[in-house]
């Protein structure tokens, strides 16, 4: 049995490094810097971080399961990113609806958070999913 | 997944999200600009008690109220617009009312009850602390109090009402006259003078025979908050002494003298070879610095008995200064030495106090100490980018700038104070109209009066120095506009007489300055800071 990789060695290294970096970034920011623990946020974040780091390890080590985990990690991050963005946009709408002209600073803060997470939780996973292409059997 | 499919997902997501967001804004929006159209909520208030209420569709002036009593205030609040509450989750519910502006209605079993903004204000239920997971946030109203009050009106249990009631928030137009309708164009010598006089008379009224003050009064209960603070006593004394001198009012000057005597006789301690002000085994620089400032004002107002105490305090303040201009902010009486720690405000207070002391003593060491402290506070490295974005409370600093300008002008300090005021202008609110000129604190918190008042003390001082220094006319004009808008906000919310129908003892509170539009407490430093800012501006207005 041979292993057929969708990703070129170069793409594999780039995605491995990117996922390792993003996973580490979330560990530091969300679990070290922010001391507040709240399971509703921490649990999905921990799952995404684990998947990102697992995919990075697998891609670096050229494991057979690496691209499958990369796809799952990318989907998980992408869905989390969309959910978080939707929550923040609806929060902006709530603030605008209730507080009107007084909501500027809070709306800007929410908008800033959306802008900050978009590259990591939407753009990068979308790029990875697009690069991996449609799902297919990776072993022949 | 193909790129095309991914983009399609993102496009659908964006459209659905945009529609949901716009729908949510439309669903929750209250239009405050429309003409009032709802029912009239007519209430009878006296001494903080609501005696009666009627909800009528028209002719509110003639609505019949049970127990109509002489001396009671008939308050008419008419609904402008209302909107639903998004969800009964406590966090979302509590955050669904705008502090000081929104009321809450509930319909249950065919009846409707209203908690108007006045009711919520009386319940002291705006700005409640809400626990969100492990975080404590201030978002909106105290649900327990407001729903408890509505439940009593409908003879239901709060839990039952919360579960089955239909809640809506609403905006009202009211006839209370508080805040006053007063714009920057009405800030003139006459209105400012009246406000200063009222603030000084408030402090006089709450002064005990021994010269101390009722430290903080809760206007809604008439009760005193326990505790006392010597720096704030000194600040109040300083304001009274200045007000008595500038307004030529002997009763206010007498009050200032009594307050000064209280400091001298009850709070003077020995700190090594010097005398100092405070209590206990450790004293702070601020108490002595502000007492020194007050003593100087008293002497200049015709109370020579404070000259010697002022000279002694100036010695103590100077003894705490380091060679680089900074001060050691604490003196340990128990260990008989100064402690080289720094807190906010004290260096600026000491600089201003030494600058004032120099007017009395003519001692070059006082002026030198004040100048070095001012330089220490204001001469920033131009390469430190953060200095443009992060500012401490510099109200004493910029008053020192002005106080020293004729004797030791410092152009760098003037630039620093002008830059700080430019930063303050960016935080000044322009809407809603009643908050115009205030410093914003975000949507959940209403603006406070005293942080603005202290900034205005600095702004007025900076304005004077800038005029003398022939600063660019546009910058001076912007500064004056900032001051007028800020002063208008203070005047709007000063108790003149304020919502007196909510107060058990409205007469005492006349002229007081509350903590914020919803914090109906008057601490002695609130009228002091507002009064000092207005007094200095009055001096500029009247030349």
B65 band by pLDDT with thresholds 50, 70 and 90: confident
pLDDT digits (tens, 9 = 90+) for B409-453: 999 999 999 999 999 999 999 988 999 999 988 778 899 999 999
Q: How far is CA B153 from the centre of its chain?
A: 34
Q: Can you read off the two tokens belonging to residue B323?
A: 């060679």
With a CB cutoff of 8 Å and minimum separation 6, the contacts of A43 are: none
Instruction: Check if the beta carbon of residue A138 is closer than 8 Å to that of residue A2.
Output: no
CB B320 within 8 A of CB B338: yes
User: What are the residues whose beta carbons fall under 8 Å from the beta carbon of A139, sequence distance 6 or more?
Assistant: A1, A2, A3, A4, A64
Q: Do β-strands B166-174 and B135-138 pair in parallel, antiparallel, or remain unpaired?
A: unpaired
Q: What phi and psi values does residue B55 have, to the nearest 5 degrees?
A: -115, 120
Residue for token digits 């970034």? Answer: A25
Cα–Cα distance, A99 to A122 (Å, whole number): 29
Pairwise CA distance, residues A64 & A70, whole Å = 11
Q: Closest by alpha carbon to B374, among B325, B322, B315?
A: B325
User: What pLDDT, on the 0 to 100 scale, is given for residue A40?
Assistant: 86
Tell me the average pLDDT across B169-198. Answer: 96
Residue A139's pLDDT band (cuts 50, 70, 90): very low
Structure tokens at B128: 């409640």
pLDDT > 80? residue A136: no
Specify whether the CB–CB gap between B191 and B491 falls below 8 A: yes
The token pair at A108 is 């800007």
- Alpha carbon distance A23, B237 (integer Å): 59
Chain A contact for B12 (CB, 8 A cutoff) = no
Percent of the residues in chain B that have a pLDDT greater than 90, as a whole number: 88
**Spatial CB neighbours of B222, under 8 Å, sequence gap ≥ 6:** B48, B503, B504, B505, B508
Nearest CB to A37; choose among B22, B30, B134: B134
Given a cut of 70, whether residue A137 has pLDDT beyond it is no
Separation between Cα atoms, residue B483 and residue A134, nearest integer Å = 64
Digit-coded pLDDT (tens) for A66-121: 999 999 999 999 999 999 999 999 999 999 999 988 888 888 989 999 999 999 99
pLDDT class of B533 with cuts at 50, 70, 90: very high
Tell whether B135 lies on the interface with A, counting CB pairs under 8 A. Answer: yes
Whether B3 has a pLDDT exceeding 90, the answer reads no
Q: Give the C-alpha separation, B332 to B534, whole Å.
A: 37
What's chain A's length in residues? 140
> B447's torsion region: left (phi>0), alpha (psi -120 to 50) or beta?
beta
- Nearest-CA distance A61 → chain B (Å): 24
Which residues in chain B are closer than 8 Å to A126, comparing Cβ atoms? 6, 10
Q: How many helices (H) and strands (E) does chain B have?
A: 18, 15
**Whole-model pTM?**
0.88
- Residue B393: the pLDDT is 86
Residues B288, B278 contacting (CB under 8 angstroms): yes
pLDDT in tens, A26-80: 999 989 988 878 888 899 999 999 999 999 999 999 898 999 999 999 999 999 9
A with B: how many residue pairs have Cβ under 8 Å apart?
79
Structural contact between residues B418 and B466, judged by C-beta atoms closer than 8 angstroms: yes
| Cβ B494 vs Cβ B198: under 8 Å | yes
Tokens of B111: 């009846």
Tell me, yes or no, if B19 comes closer than 8 A to chain A by beta carbon.
no
User: Between chains, do B432 and A134 touch, taking CB under 8 Å as contact?
Assistant: no
Q: How many CB atoms neighbour CB B110 within 10 A?
A: 5
CA dist B292 to B208, B255, B317, Å?
22, 17, 9
Evaluate whether B42 touches B60 at the Cβ level (below 8 Å): yes
State the Cα–Cα distance between residues B374 and B369, nearest whole angstrom. 9
| pLDDT tier, A138 (very low <50, low <70, confident <90, very high otherwise) | very low
| Cβ contact B432–A102 (<8 Å) | yes
| CB contact B26 to A (< 8 Å) | yes
CB contact under 8 A, A130 and B32: no
What is the predicted pLDDT for the residue at B444?
Answer: 80
Q: Is B380 helix (H, G, I), strand (E, B) or coil?
A: coil
Across the range B20-47, mean pLDDT stands at 94
In angstroms, the Cα distances linking A126 to A119, A138, B3, B377, B481 are 10, 20, 8, 51, 51
Residue B249 to residue B538: CA distance in whole angstroms: 15
Q: Please say whether the beta carbons of B255 and B244 come within 8 A.
A: yes
User: By the CB < 8 Å criterion, does A76 face chain B?
Assistant: no
- How many other β-carbons are positioned within 10 Å of the β-carbon of residue B15? 10
Q: pLDDT (tens digit, 9 = 90+) per residue, B134-158? A: 667 777 899 999 999 999 999 999 9
Question: Under DSSP, is residue B275 helix (H, G, I), strand (E, B) or coil?
Answer: strand
d(CA A64, CA B26): 52
Q: How far apart are CA A27 and CA A47, in angstroms?
A: 11
Q: Give me the sheet containing B73-84, strands edge to edge.
A: B49-56, B40-46, B73-84, B166-174, B102-108, B111-115
pLDDT at A64: 87
* Mean pLDDT, rounded, of chain B: 94
| Token reading at B252 | 């206010």
DSSP B19-56: HHHHHHHHHH---TTSPP-S-EEEEEEETTEEEEEEEE
**ipTM of model over 0.90:** no
pLDDT at B323 over 60: yes
Residue (of A33, A76, A85, A86) closest to A53 by Cα position: A76
Task: Give the burial class of A116: count Cβ atoms within 10 A of its Cβ; 0-12 exposed, 13-18 middle, 19 or more buried.
Answer: exposed
Buried/exposed A54-91: b ≥16 CB within 10 Å, e otherwise? bbbbbbeeeeeebbebbbebbebbbebbbebbbebbbb
Check: CB of residue B494 under 8 Å from CB of residue B512: yes
Q: A51: which 2 tokens?
A: 């998947």
Which residues does chain A have within 8 Å of residue B434's beta carbon, measured at their own beta carbons? Answer: none
Closest CA of chain B from A127, distance in Å: 8
> So what's the pLDDT on residue A2?
44
Whether B384 has its CB under 8 Å from any CB of chain A: the answer is no
- Residue range B253-273, pLDDT digits in tens: 999 999 999 999 999 999 999
pLDDT tens per residue across span B6-23? 899 999 999 999 999 999
Q: Could you give the angle at the alpha carbon of B190 between the alpha carbons of B186 and B196, nearest 5°?
A: 105
Flag whether pLDDT at A1 surpasses 60: no
Read off the pLDDT of each residue in B215-227 and give the average, rounded to a whole number.
Answer: 95
Q: Which helix or strand (DSSP H or E) is residue B158 part of?
A: helix B158-164
């Amino acid at each position: 049995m041979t292993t057929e990789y969708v990703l070129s060695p170069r793409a594999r290294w780039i995605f491995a490094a990117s996922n390792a970096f993003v996973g580490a970034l979330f560990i530091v920011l969300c679990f070290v810097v922010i001391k507040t623990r709240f399971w509703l946020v921490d649990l999905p974040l921990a799952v995404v971080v684990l998947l990102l780091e697992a995919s990075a390890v697998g891609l670096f080590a050229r494991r057979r399961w690496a691209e499958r985990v990369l796809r799952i990690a990318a989907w998980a991050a992408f869905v989390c990113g969309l959910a978080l963005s939707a929550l923040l946009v609806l929060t902006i709408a709530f603030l605008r609806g209730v507080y009107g002209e007084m909501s500027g600073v809070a709306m800007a803060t929410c908008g800033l958070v959306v802008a900050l997470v978009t590259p990591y939780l939407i753009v990068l996973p979308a790029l990875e999913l697009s690069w991996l292409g449609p799902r297919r059997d990776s072993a022949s | 997944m193909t790129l095309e499919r991914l983009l399609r997902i993102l496009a659908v997501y964006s459209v659905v999200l945009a529609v949901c967001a716009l729908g949510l804004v439309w669903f929750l929006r209250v239009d405050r600009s429309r003409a009032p159209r709802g029912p009239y909520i007519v209430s009878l208030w006296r001494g903080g008690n609501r005696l009666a209420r009627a909800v009528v569709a028209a002719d509110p002036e003639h609505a019949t109220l049970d127990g109509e009593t002489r001396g009671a205030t008939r308050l008419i609040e008419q609904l402008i617009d209302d909107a639903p509450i998004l969800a009964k989750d406590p966090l979302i519910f509590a955050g669904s009312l705008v502090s000081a502006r929104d009321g809450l209605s509930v319909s249950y079993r065919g009846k409707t009850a209203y908690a108007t903004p006045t009711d919520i204000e009386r319940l002291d239920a705006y700005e409640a602390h809400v626990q969100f997971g492990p975080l404590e946030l201030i978002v909106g109203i105290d649900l327990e109090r407001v729903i408890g009050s509505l439940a009593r009106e409908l003879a239901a249990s709060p839990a039952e009402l919360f579960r089955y009631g239909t809640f809506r928030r609403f905006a009202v137009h009211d006839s209370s006259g508080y805040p006053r309708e007063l714009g920057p164009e009405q800030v003139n010598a006459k209105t400012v003078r009246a406000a200063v006089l009222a603030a000084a008379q408030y402090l006089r009224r709450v002064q005990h025979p021994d010269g101390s003050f009722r430290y903080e009064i809760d206007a809604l209960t008439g009760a005193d908050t326990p505790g006392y603070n010597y720096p704030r006593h000194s600040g109040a004394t300083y304001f009274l002494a200045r007000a008595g001198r500038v307004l030529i009012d002997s009763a206010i000057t007498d009050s200032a003298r009594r307050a000064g005597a209280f400091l001298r006789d009850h709070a003077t301690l020995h700190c090594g070879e010097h005398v100092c002000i405070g209590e206990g085994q450790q004293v702070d620089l601020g108490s002595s610095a502000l007492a020194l400032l007050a003593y100087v004002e008293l002497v200049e107002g015709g109370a020579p008995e404070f000259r010697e105490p002022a000279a002694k305090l100036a010695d103590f303040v100077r003894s705490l200064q380091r060679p680089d201009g900074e001060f050691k902010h604490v003196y340990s009486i128990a260990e008989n030495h100064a402690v080289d720690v720094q807190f906010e405000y004290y260096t600026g207070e000491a600089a201003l106090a030494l600058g004032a002391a120099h007017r009395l003593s003519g001692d070059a060491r006082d002026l030198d100490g004040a100048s070095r402290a001012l330089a220490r506070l204001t001469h920033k490295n131009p390469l430190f980018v953060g200095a443009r974005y992060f500012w401490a409370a510099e109200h004493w600093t910029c008053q020192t700038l002005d106080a020293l300008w004729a004797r030791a002008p410092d152009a760098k300090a003037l630039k620093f104070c002008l830059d700080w005021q430019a930063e303050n202008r960016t935080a000044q609110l322009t809407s809603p109209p009643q908050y115009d000129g205030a410093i914003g604190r975000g949507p959940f918190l209403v603006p406070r009066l005293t942080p603005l008042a202290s900034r205005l003390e600095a702004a007025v001082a900076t304005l004077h120095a800038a005029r003398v220094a022939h600063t660019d006319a546009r910058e001076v004009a912007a500064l004056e506009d900032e001051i007028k808008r800020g002063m208008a906000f203070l005047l709007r919310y000063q108790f003149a007489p304020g919502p007196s129908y909510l107060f058990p003892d409205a007469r005492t509170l006349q002229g007081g300055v509350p903590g914020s539009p919803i914090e109906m407490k008057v601490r002695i430093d609130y009228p002091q800071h507002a009064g000092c800012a207005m007094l200095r501006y009055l001096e500029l207005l009247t030349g």
